[in-house]
Amino acid sequence: MRVIVVKSPQEMGKEAAAIIADGMCSKPHYVLGLATGSTPVPLYNELKRMHKEDGLDFSTTVSFNLDEYIALPATHDQSYRCFIDEHLFDDINIVKGNTHVPDGMTDDIETHCMIYEAMIEDVGGIDCQVLGIGGNGHIGFNEPGSSLASRTRAVDLTPETIRDNARFFKSADEVPKRAISMGIGTVLEAEKILLLATGANKAKAVAAALEGPVCIKVPASGLQLHPDVTYVITEDAASQLTLRYRS
């Protein structure tokens, strides 16, 4: 486990983008696992800058997003497809056909999830999976209680997550109650995992994930089982850590 503690979200974005750019340069057809939420935005801003100013090339990159709300059309401004288009894809040279986000409007969720997993396998797996972390320790929409072996599937959001996400909607009533999420088992198969966290409100979850027992109460604790995880976190998000880490 590597833990890189930085002073600001911007610095976190630069550190994380440098790790991804390194990977992209070492392997054509790099496969990125992407997350939504406010945390990865500085990373996406830096990747866009590197594309524009340094010529970072996404033309052969393939991507899979972690999750999507169920029953929210991709055209809705709060859909995760819309988010990732707007915050990243529209400003880089990725081929839209190489980008994948679960379809929250599918009428056969189970088959769709199986196909999503098969598509990841077909391209040889995810090279680098970007993750945020919920205040309750969730990764993707794998809420507390999710099996560490879980695969892509439909999940119910906890009241806490609905409350957290209500800031993006007119009211909590409008937040979808279900989502499709890659499973923790799916995430653990990525070659490399990059977990990002900013803000004091994430400090407890970060400490539980890194220093607590591996348990389904804290889904991110499952990452302790993976051989190549890097946390890039701000000082406030790291404030409840007690151990020394390699950076």
- Interaction between residue 88 and ligand PGA (CB under 6 A): no
H/E segment holding residue 121: helix 109-122
Residue 67 annotated as catalytic: yes
Which string of x and - marks every residue 135-174 that binds ligand PGA (by CB under 6 A)? ----------------------------------------
| Among residues 33, 37, 42, 102, the one that binds ligand PGA under rule CB under 6 A | 37
- Interaction between residue 134 and ligand PGA (CB under 6 A): yes
* Cβ 201 to ligand PGA shortest distance, Å: 8
Listed in sequence order, the residues at least 6 apart from 162 whose beta carbon sits closer than 8 Å to its beta carbon are: 172, 175, 177
Phi, psi at 70, each rounded to 5°: -85, 140
- Nearer CB in complex with ligand PGA: 98/230: 230
198 near 16, Cβ under 8 Å?
A: no
Listed in sequence order, the residues at least 6 apart from 210 whose beta carbon sits closer than 8 Å to its beta carbon are: 1, 3, 224, 231, 241, 243, 245
Residue 3, token pair as written in the block: 């833990």
100 near 61, Cβ under 8 Å?
A: no
9 near 220, Cβ under 8 Å?
A: no
| Among residues 34, 101, 130, 133, the one that binds ligand PGA under rule CB under 6 A | 133
How many amino acids of this chain bind ligand PGA (CB under 6 A)?
6
Listed in sequence order, the residues at least 6 apart from 11 whose beta carbon sits closer than 8 Å to its beta carbon are: 234
- Interaction between residue 39 and ligand PGA (CB under 6 A): yes
Residue 138 annotated as catalytic: yes
* Cβ 129 to ligand PGA shortest distance, Å: 13
CA-based radius of gyration for the chain: 17
- Nearer CB in complex with ligand PGA: 98/175: 175
- Nearer CB in complex with ligand PGA: 39/99: 39
Q: Which stretch binds ligand PGA (CB under 6 A): 23-31, 33-41, 49-57, 151-159?
A: 33-41
HSE-CB for 119 with a 13 A CA cutoff: 21
Q: Which of 15, 46, 67, 127 is catalytic?
A: 67
Where does this chain bind ligand PGA (CB under 6 A)? 37-39, 132-134
Catalytic positions are: 67, 136, 138, 143
